[in-house]
Amino acid sequence: MVAMAGKNSADNRTRTSVSIFIVAGLCCFFYLLGAWQRSGFGKGDSIALAVTKTADENCDILPNLNFETRHAGEAGGTEESEEAEELKPCDPQYTDYTPCQDQKRAMTFPRENMNYRERHCPPQEEKLHCLIPAPKGYVTPFPWPKSRDYVPYANAPYKSLTVEKAIQNWVQYEGNVFRFPGGGTQFPQGADKYIDQLASVVPIENGTVRTALDTGCGVASWGAYLWKRNVIAMSFAPRDSHEAQVQFALERGVPAVIGVLGTIKMPYPSKAFDMAHCSRCLIPWGAADGILMMEVDRVLRPGGYWVLSGPPINWKTNYNAWQRPKEELEEEQRKIEEAAKLLCWEKISEKGETAIWQKRKDSDSCRSAQESSAAKVCKSSDPDSVWYNKMETCITPNNGNGEDESLKPFPERLYAVPPRIANGKVSGVSVEEYQEDNKKWKKHVSAYKKINKFLNTGRYRNIMDMNAGLGGFAAALHSPKFWVMNVMPTIAEKNTLGVIYERGLIGIYHDWCEAFSTYPRTYDLIHANGLFSLYKDKCEFEDILLEMDRILRPEGAVILRDNVDVLIKVRKIIGGMRWNLKLMDHEDGPLVPEKILVAVKQYWTLGDTNSTSLQ
């Protein structure tokens, strides 16, 4: 009996100890939760509160777990008590800093063939280790579709285009906003009427044409107005005297990057685009034996269309207005026509100042004509190997990535098996694995929507996936309310960007050890799956996180999915970055070593800590 009593007493003490531990743990949890909810500035708080509330309502995703004790590894030396190094704001001069297209650095490179406008990134010792500030008065952009037509002046305070392009109807300054009437150099009456003209020749309306490339895009009005026709355009223009053209495009909610056709291949895969477009883009298409047209041919699908508006088309009528000699324009058009014939492009329309060519599908029947000419076929076995590779004066063979060039119309294309996979051209990815990947990302995105209720509302217009894989995240999230820039890291094990384009999505090659080709504050939400594990032995996590901070808007959101050991290191750096964050379990529970880190960038500007938004 004495022994029994002793045993009961011990059990009681054990139960009491457990109860005290549970109560103490809950108290600590709610104290930390409350403190987190009240941190930060402005509207970011309301987003953070909503994110926390929805996460707490779904018991399969548990915040504030002590992951270090569950999965030991490389993070063993990282203690919770260690304070993060605070990263300071950069000087005001860096408000619109674009590291790899810095104007001062650009002027030290040759101007020949636009080399100085290409990417020239700072060496490691010259990289900034500070947070790029938003300009004073920065406000949340208007929601789409209002953002297509209006941009807050404070976000991109550059008026030069309102003067330089006044008669061409690019942009007008009205009070505290810029208004974009939809005009362009070749379509001063509006992009809609211009696209109607193109649609009389090009099948824009039926889903056959889904992906488009706009070279020398200006403020991207062509891409902006194609959106409602279910066509997504990748637009690019250099950072030049037209100071903020790409910045304006992204503020409008239109996909765009800083870029130029110079000496380096475009950062896109072969056979990516259904249509390519140049509207008075001032690109010397006929120069250097048509090398720039050959690069467009590389990224254009068989059966795709090339649209050229402006000089030298219809030069006989317009040479006086263009103030250029007839002989010069005639020679320019002759060279373009010769290059197009060499590339097996057939001119299907010329009306006014607009000509349209179609790339032939039956390229084999054209090949003998090419071989009997001076044409040179590219010897490279991989037409998608482009990062910092020089353009070549050669024709890319069409059989580089799959014999079946028939694509479903969009949106059926989004989940149809891409030709590259159906033909076994992507090593290590079978049809079954592709379909399983789609199921996995539908599940992941469903979990994200429980964590962040704003994800599908249009609150986030410009979205980036930093390690896009097969495009499953973008496909599962697909909506007319937003678009996703799918980034394919140049060091990824599998190059699947061509698959992403075959799904009717867009993307770009990039090395995250360098800055992305965009302006600061141009993305509303950034997603990265396994990115830090991929780069852990390649470059500093801090550099990648500072670049994410540079391109993320104030009050923008971040979703990181990675191994817990890696995310613990990432979390420590974020602690000094003016982000509010939460580390969460995988949707399948706490025993899965892969975790989710969600964060919201606080609102702060030069000398102003109050949150502001426009309705």
CB-based burial label for 389 (10 Å; 0-12, 13-18, 19+) = exposed
pLDDT at 232: 98
- Side-by-side strand order, sheet with 552-563: 506-510, 483-489, 462-465, 523-529, 552-563, 594-601, 579-585
pLDDT at 84: 81
On whether the CB atoms of residues 337 and 306 are closer than 8 A, the answer is no
Characterize the bridge pairing of strands 345-351 and 462-465: unpaired
pTM of the entire predicted model: 0.86
pLDDT class of 70 with cuts at 50, 70, 90: very low
Question: At which residue do the structure tokens 């028939």 appear?
Answer: 406
DSSP letters spanning 215-248: ES-TT-HHHHHHGGGT-EEEEEE-SSSSTTHHHH
425-480, pLDDT tens digit by residue? 999 999 999 999 999 999 999 999 999 999 999 999 999 999 999 999 999 999 99
Q: Among 23-32, 273-282, 519-528, which is the least confidently predicted range?
A: 23-32
Phi, psi of 281 (to 5 degrees): -85, -5
Q: Which token pair is 502?
A: 């075959």
Q: Which of 458, 522, 469, 516 is nearest to 497 (CA)?
A: 469
Task: Work out the average pLDDT over 63-87.
Answer: 43
Whether a cis peptide bond, with omega within 30° of 0, leads into 590 is no
568-608, pLDDT tens digit by residue? 999 999 999 999 999 999 999 999 999 999 999 999 998 75
117-160, pLDDT tens digit by residue? 999 999 999 999 999 999 999 999 999 999 999 999 999 888 76
Cα dihedral: 361, 362, 363, 364 (round 10): 160
193-228, pLDDT tens digit by residue? 999 999 999 999 999 999 999 998 888 999 999 999
Handedness of CA 249, 254, 260, 261 (dihedral sign): negative
Q: Which token pair is 48?
A: 């953070």
pLDDT at 136: 93
Q: Among 54-58, 287-291, 335-339, which is the least confidently predicted range?
A: 54-58
On whether the CB atoms of residues 180 and 189 are closer than 8 A, the answer is no
The whole-angstrom separation of Cα 448 and Cα 559 is: 8
The whole-angstrom separation of Cα 82 and Cα 5 is: 46
The whole-angstrom separation of Cα 436 and Cα 447 is: 17
- Side-by-side strand order, sheet with 177-179: 150-152, 177-179, 172-174
On whether the CB atoms of residues 281 and 291 are closer than 8 A, the answer is no
